[in-house]
Structure 1
Amino acid sequence: MPSEPSIQDILESVPATFRGPGGAVAVVKDGELAGQHVWGFANLDARILLTPATIFPICSISKQMVCLVLRDLLQNDKDKAFENALTKALHDLLPQDIMANQDLTLERLVAMQSGIRDYWALTVLWGATPGGKFSIYEDAPQALKRVGGFHFPPGTSMSYANTNFMALGLAIERASGQTLGDLLQERLFKRAAMTTAALRPDTERLPPPIVGYEGSDGTGYIAYKNRIEWAGDAGITASLEDMVAYEKYIDRSATDPDSAYHKNTQQPHYLDGSPAFYGYGLIHSEIEGMKVVGHGGAIAGFRLIRFYVAEKRISIIVLLNSDANTEEVGKHILRKIVGKRTEHEALEEVNVDWTGPYFDQQNSLAITVSQPKPGELVINYSGHDAKLKVTIPTQASSSSMKVTHEDGRLIIQRLRGYRSTARPLQSPTKSEDTTPLLYTGSYRSEEIDSTFHVAGAGGMLYGYFDGYLGQGPVHLMRHVAEDVWSLACHRSLDAPAPGDWTVLFHRDGDCKTVKGVTVGCPLAMNILFDKMQ
């Protein structure tokens, strides 16, 4: 009878299962390194191999580290001087209408419950170009003043917004009088023995030899050059050796009730007291019934993840210099370690009769429901597909979403976000004009300081945006139904891109002319543009 594979065996099997230019994986168990494996190339053109010391940009994994520094600063703030200065700095950075809301607290910011739109999504509407430059000290403060109002009331829902952490990073620097890089070095990296980790905001100047790659086995891999800067929301670089040291530090801190990590991992809640899944830069989830706390990271050419299973005292780290799915890699490793087999549950042969286009009126987002095969449903929510299992003819669900068809409408419960209702969209009648010429023209949003241009004819529409970042590229638009169109955006200043933006045109009283348009995606909803004369 064959013996069970060791942790090292499991890690060494990863490259063949998840192909790509290169990667680094490790497992820390019971506070010690249980295995690590590094394969492939840091630079394909120069033929430079990856090593455990190769430094990666860890992107949004940085958020939890910034929050550890924040907690440490607050815990040692005996006279509230730092807390008061932090509040003042946030008031200076963010629009006053936003800061005047009493429900917008520090806890809402770090829990992604602020209701503030994501500035990386909004860069598309501000005229950014893919691969363009974005400065943390020049462009970021201008972005914060242009995010507009809330797209949902603070504390009532969750929407991933880098805005929260970018503002927090800048505010921490102003309040403390120190750079965020120095604070991270003093209050985390040294304590955790992360000897080469550092805050390096400029993604154009990553420590050599690492290169990020886009593509696949089918298309080939192309080196991608990023030119953005970020800090509070991302910006830390670290090697596999650094991340192993971090996980050892986390394991030592996990059960200490006075530690910053222990406090930051407590169950977050919404304003009504119901449990939330995100807090202090950490995602709370489950894998095979085990509670998992961690976070992923992404930028064009890189995907990364780390998470900790407290009940097993297991940490898993995955660093890839490609766009492969690190969450699947991490789950694969964990299942193998704990002896769980990936079982593909047979789908019930259930068909539904409610496929087609829908419109989420609360959030102004288009939704498309399709059924590729019996028992399976695909929900496309503004350009991103989610696969669900049909449980009964009126319901389908996955680990992150539950959809019910009731009285002709969709009731969507996003387990990691908001609950909404969507009505079916109808094909226009012959008397309704939906030709592209009806919608062409220029539209203006004073709220976010953006101009939207729509052009086209002969059944085709194009959309493009001007803003403080420049004149953006032209995006193709597709008619969904009624006065709802989608604008495709699969490449933006950052990666992954927002996907498809929903574009809802508003007609005047005579129904023959268009007076405005609402533009939105799940990261930045309900942005109103008025028709320019």
Structure 2
Amino acid sequence: MAIIKDGELAAKHVWGYANIDTREPITPQTIFPICSISKQCVEFLLATATCTNEDLTLERLVGMQSGLRDYWILSVLWGARPQDRFSIYQDAPEALKRLGSFHFAPGTQFSYSNTNFMVVGLAIEKVTGQTLNDLLQSLLFKPAGMKSAGLRADMARIPSPIVGYEGSEETGYIPYTNRIEWAGDAGVSASLDDMIAYEKYIHRSSTDENSAYFKIATDPTYIDGSSAHYSNGLFHREVEGVKVVEHSGGLAGFRLRRSYMPSERTSVIVLLNSHIDTTVVASYTFKKILKDTPSIEKLQVANDKPAETRIEVKWTSSYLDEETKLAVVVKQDKPGQVIVNYDGHHETLEILDENEAKGSYMQVRFGSNGLSIIRPFENRKFTARPLRAVPASTNAQEFVGRYYSKEIDSTFLVSGSGAMLYGAFDGYLGKGPMHVMQRLGEDVWWLACFRSLDAPVPGYWTVAFDGRRFEGFSKVTVGCMGARDIAYQRVS
């Protein structure tokens, strides 16, 4: 990792091994895939090349407000298996044909979708007649002095010696073989020295209103003018009440982050070939920096924490957001906190009173109609109704069958016996593996999916059956945050 302050290197520390079997250490010149940090590089290219305001469609694409489903998540529904090959010029065009409709009106909400930057990258190549790598080299990497950076689309050919490791000290570290090709959404690779050069380059022009980085780092908005939290390959968040502009990256075996705190003119870069949480690393570093340069305002923010509560809530249960057909599951494992799963992954919320809890990305209030939920990051307010509980031993054979989605060209196979169900998806990428399903209540299930072609997305799919008939159900909706409300009809 490294820290850049006022355009100069303030600290750099390198540790560990690029390959634990061959004992080759990581150095400042070791090349990492920087994954989704690539998105800001592509947007930097656009801003440098055009120096004009983007039209609405492009603005919504790079702001993750397009309403396009994430092709990477949908690959599960098209039959992809872990470590399968995915070609950007053969498989990606077929994916774009099968995205289906918008899952929300463009410009109204946020939903992270790799489709947006894949489309932008391919469009740039088509319009310019040049490769994305050549354009990045001439417009960003060479001017910034990033000597070894490049768009290396094929993850199976990352320059040695770097290896990405899954696992932990407790389970052992396991090397992961990645066979994916990326476009503008995650294809750049660079060393720590390259990223230091990138930050220095940005710092030199970060306050220049005519510079490319200044343009892409401006505060984003939705189509109605309200504030958003993401645009141009950059997230906008706060650490101890102080603004941070950043983006992380993650594939199986790698976790990366570059973060910039404008008020302190300080950047933090973290490149890891393991699954350590880079948010914790970067936030810890920024908090230490703020303590070293305290102000009254910062100290007040840091000390303004709610008193600890020992309340145990009575609304731990399963709910359904009818608008998106996504499940909301509330659990409590200790007083004072609840764990809420809505977007496929868990978030811990602090309890404010017996009916309300709040976290970094969600505020929940329990009432007579269920849960009233505010998710400001996505520009959403909605109510999730409670699901009627069903005994775990209830026979589930009425759900078994084969269902087909014409919209995205995917087949969903539900199998099992007694109360135990499994789900699998077939499509143009092949026949996918079986996934365990868990009944949440009524006719709504979770389908566990923590491994796709690569990264652990989406976590859980919500599977909501409907159209009960004597021989079973006539239809089912499958969805997650990045690919919502996909309708399947029973075919057998």
Global fold match (TM > 0.5): yes
Aligned to 2:318: 357
Residue 519 (structure 1) aligned to one of 461, 469, 478 = 478
Helix, strand or coil for the counterpart of 1:311? helix
Q: CA deviation at 1:74?
A: 1.8
**2:69 maps to amino acid:** R
Aligned to 1:416: 377
> What CA distance in whole angstroms lies between the structure 2 residues aligned with 1:67 and 1:382?
26
Aligned to 2:491: 532
Residue 151 (structure 2) aligned to one of 192, 196, 199 = 199
Between 155-164 and 403-412, report the one with greater CA deviation.
403-412
Q: CA deviation at 1:512?
A: 6.1
Aligned to 1:6: none
Q: CA deviation at 1:374?
A: 1.5
Cα 1:511–1:366 change in 2 (3 A) is farther
Residues 1:491 and 2:460 aligned together:
no
Q: CA deviation at 1:429?
A: 9.0
> What CA distance in whole angstroms lies between the structure 2 residues aligned with 1:444 and 1:225?
32
Cα 1:164–1:434 change in 2 (3 A) is farther
Aligned to 1:375: 336
> What CA distance in whole angstroms lies between the structure 2 residues aligned with 1:226 and 1:497?
15
Deviations for 1:466-502, whole angstroms, at most 9, x for unmatched residues? 1000010111111111000111111110203211101
Aligned to 1:469: 429
Between 522-531 and 405-414, report the one with greater CA deviation.
405-414
> What CA distance in whole angstroms lies between the structure 1 residues aligned with 2:204 and 2:111?
31
Contact 1:112 1:278 in 2 (8 A): yes
Cα 1:76–1:278 change in 2 (3 A) is closer
> What CA distance in whole angstroms lies between the structure 2 residues aligned with 1:511 and 1:347?
52
> What CA distance in whole angstroms lies between the structure 1 residues aligned with 2:212 and 2:141?
14
Q: How many residues align?
A: 482
> What CA distance in whole angstroms lies between the structure 1 residues aligned with 2:373 and 2:204?
40
Q: Normalising by the residue count of structure 1, what TM-score does the alignment of the two structures yield? A: 0.88
Deviations for 1:235-290, whole angstroms, at most 9, x for unmatched residues? 10000000000001111121000011101111111122110000000001110111
Deviations for 1:171-211, whole angstroms, at most 9, x for unmatched residues? 01001111000000000001111111000010011000000
Aligned to 1:33: 9
Unaligned runs of at least 5 residues, structure 1: 1-24, 78-82, 88-103
Cα 1:479–1:382 change in 2 (3 A) is farther
Aligned to 2:269: 317
Cα 1:382–1:248 change in 2 (3 A) is closer
Contact 1:434 1:482 in 2 (8 A): no
> What CA distance in whole angstroms lies between the structure 2 residues aligned with 1:429 and 1:63?
46
Residues 1:445 and 2:397 aligned together:
no
Unaligned runs of at least 5 residues, structure 2: 293-298
Q: Where does 1:113-512 land on structure 2 (aligned, <5 Å)?
A: 113-339=65-291, 347-417=308-378, 418-428=380-390, 435-508=395-468, 510=469
Q: Normalising by the residue count of structure 2, what TM-score does the alignment of the two structures yield? A: 0.95
> What CA distance in whole angstroms lies between the structure 2 residues aligned with 1:245 and 1:177?
28
Aligned to 2:23: 47
Q: CA deviation at 1:338?
A: 2.0
Seq. identity, %: 55
> What CA distance in whole angstroms lies between the structure 1 residues aligned with 2:307 and 2:52?
54
Contact 1:282 1:295 in 2 (8 A): yes
> What CA distance in whole angstroms lies between the structure 1 residues aligned with 2:145 and 2:332?
51
Q: CA deviation at 1:157?
A: 0.6
> What CA distance in whole angstroms lies between the structure 1 residues aligned with 2:108 and 2:52?
31
**1:452 maps to amino acid:** F
Helix, strand or coil for the counterpart of 1:243? helix
Contact 2:255 2:278 in 1 (8 A): yes
Helix, strand or coil for the counterpart of 2:479? strand
Helix, strand or coil for the counterpart of 1:339? helix
Q: CA deviation at 1:345?
A: 6.4
Deviations for 1:442-466, whole angstroms, at most 9, x for unmatched residues? 1000100100111111221111111
